[in-house]
Structure 1
Amino acid sequence: MDAVPDGNVLEVGNMGTGNTKDEGTEVDRFRHQVDEMTCKVDELEQRVNEVAHFYSSSSKKQLNNSKGSSVMKDRDREKHFASSKKQLDATRREAASTKRMQELMRQFSTILRQITQHKWAWPFMQPVDVEGLGLHDYYEVIDKPMDFSTIRNQMEAKDGTGYKNVREICSDVRLVFKNAMTYNDDRSDVYVMAKTLLVKFEEKWLQLLPKVIEEETRRKEEEAEANADMQVAQEVATEKLARDISNELCELDLHLEELRETVVQKCRKMTTEEKRKLGSGLSRLSPEDLNAALDIIAKKNPSFQATAEQVDLDIDAQSESILWKLKFFVNGALEVQAKNSARKGQDNSKRKREICNALAKTAKKRSKKLSS
């Protein structure tokens, strides 16, 4: 989308109406419209970047997928999205999963009750009385103390700080016995009691483990399914956003073209000197820019045919509208050419300096060798 250069818009001020105040007001109105379109372009650019970022992220995720997986085609994706609507929504699915986990915790509580009711469980029911027993090095040996009353309290916690799954409880139960076995001598009663209860606990845990694994597998599958549904929903929303952006860009192009045409029609008649400068400017254009300039004429005059290699253009025969459009275009193209030439000149100068410096160093080395 090409905007009219600010320097050229000022030409609208010379409309020849004879009323300077009215001309200034109209110029301000045109500038206001251009500012509004510029803000709209910036907004659309940001939204385009959002779309590009989404598809870039999606591509990276697809590359990380397992071998043999493929991107769903539009039809397959629509079917998948339609079928996912029939399934439980995320909230109900999570509620069902939580209920199943609570049942596993209830079964684990049965195991825990059997262990804690054993005649040898009493040393592990409460936190170790470190001060009362004079165990001054206890916290140096044991990093994380644990006991069954602490486990029970955390299992019954309602403030969200409790255990999330049975594996967390299992880990703490093991920690109770392993702490006792770590701190006490392997010939002591506490060590033997802890080791015995740990063996009994592991036997009972193995009976519950298949159900735990089944639930964990099911959770992973449901999570993957939920992520797939979310990805599809995001793709659908992003595709709609892309279509909306495309439509808005088309509307903006039409609006810009209408504004450009209005501005050109309001411009004063071009002078003979300005026509001469325009012809000179056209002759200095690159072949690509000259073809683009000729296209401007061809759009308004379908019978006009010319190429950058062979041009037969009668400037005086062109309408004022075409002449001003050409001037706007030529000025912008020549400005870009000048910037590119300046940059190229700087690069060439830098290269020449580098070559000269290299030759000077080489000459210096040779003179040293000759002198030696």
Structure 2
Amino acid sequence: MPNVEELRSITRIVESLIARTDSGPFREPVDWKGMGLWDYPDVVHELMDLGTVLSKLSSSKYDCADDVADDVRTVFNNCMTYNTEGSDFYSLGESYLLRFESMFEKLAMYGTSDRGSRVKSERGGAAGGLGQGPPNLEQKKTFAENLFKVNGDDLGHVVQVLDQKDPKALEAVAATSDDNEPNVEVNIDKIKAEVFWELDGYLKKSMARDGGLKRKR
């Protein structure tokens, strides 16, 4: 049975996000055709927007607040996946995601003990990384494959981000005379979840931009 009170509470959260003056990019589906963003469907695989979430709530399409939260996170994660880190749109998506997580955590604290424990567990560890938990083996495998395929500049960006945010995930390796790439190795198992997902989105965007071609060795 749907938890009516929880759904009513998270509806108010979604409505409050939509009511913000700067929420325009998230209120309706991204008009990627109209804006000429032809690579958008290749980079973003699950389209979602706050208007759609609210419509699904009104139509009783959700059984619990956690399902709503997953869709809301998708809205902002899509924004961060498609846009370059540090850009205005990326920063806007990140700020909205953090705002939503704060509001959702407060809702969980007053909900059932099971869900309250679940949210605390997710946010207490690495899973607090912007709404996504630790990657599974298949996701790590895909990450590793994409890491091998991107060009040298994109690989350098990955190394730079890890050096700044998660240096423990970088391991020194012996450089060869004909190797101009950074003489470090990325240990995917050591990357913190929030950094993993940030770089995962970056790699996918790079792959879509370059047509999935392998970098020259």
- Give the TM-score taking structure 1 as reference length: 0.30
1:10-25 matches, within 5 Å, as none
- Following TM superposition, the consecutive aligned residue runs of length 4 or more in structure 1 with deviations greater than 2 angstroms are 210-217
The question of whether the paired residues in 1 share the 8 Å contact of 2:11 and 2:57 is answered with no
Match of 1:185 in 2: 84
Give 1:188 shift. 1.8
AA partner of residue 23 (structure 2)? A
Residues 315-334 of structure 1: CA distance to partner in whole angstroms, max 9, x if unpaired?
xxxxxxxxxxxxxxxxxxxx
Match of 1:136 in 2: 38
Match of 1:120 in 2: 22
Mapped partners of 2:57, 2:49: distance in 1: 13
Structure showing greater Rg:
1
Residues 189-212 of structure 1: CA distance to partner in whole angstroms, max 9, x if unpaired?
111111111111111111111233
AA partner of residue 175 (structure 1)? T
Which runs of no fewer than 5 residues in structure 1 stay unpaired?
Answer: 1-93, 218-372
Give 1:215 shift. 6.7
Mapped partners of 1:167, 1:136: distance in 2: 32
Mapped partners of 1:131, 1:119: distance in 2: 24
1:110–1:140 CA distance, 2 compared to 1 (3 A): same
1:1-372 matches, within 5 Å, as 98=2, 101-158=3-60, 162-214=61-113
Residues 261-303 of structure 1: CA distance to partner in whole angstroms, max 9, x if unpaired?
xxxxxxxxxxxxxxxxxxxxxxxxxxxxxxxxxxxxxxxxxxx
Give 1:171 shift. 0.5
Give 1:181 shift. 0.3
Count of aligned pairs between the two proteins: 116
Mapped partners of 1:129, 1:186: distance in 2: 21
Mapped partners of 2:99, 2:51: distance in 1: 19
Mapped partners of 1:136, 1:212: distance in 2: 42
- Give the TM-score taking structure 2 as reference length: 0.50
Which runs of no fewer than 5 residues in structure 2 stay unpaired?
Answer: 117-217
The question of whether the paired residues in 1 share the 8 Å contact of 2:14 and 2:54 is answered with no
Residues 300-349 of structure 1: CA distance to partner in whole angstroms, max 9, x if unpaired?
xxxxxxxxxxxxxxxxxxxxxxxxxxxxxxxxxxxxxxxxxxxxxxxxxx
Identity %: 30
Residues 148-187 of structure 1: CA distance to partner in whole angstroms, max 9, x if unpaired?
11111111115xxx01111000010011000000000112
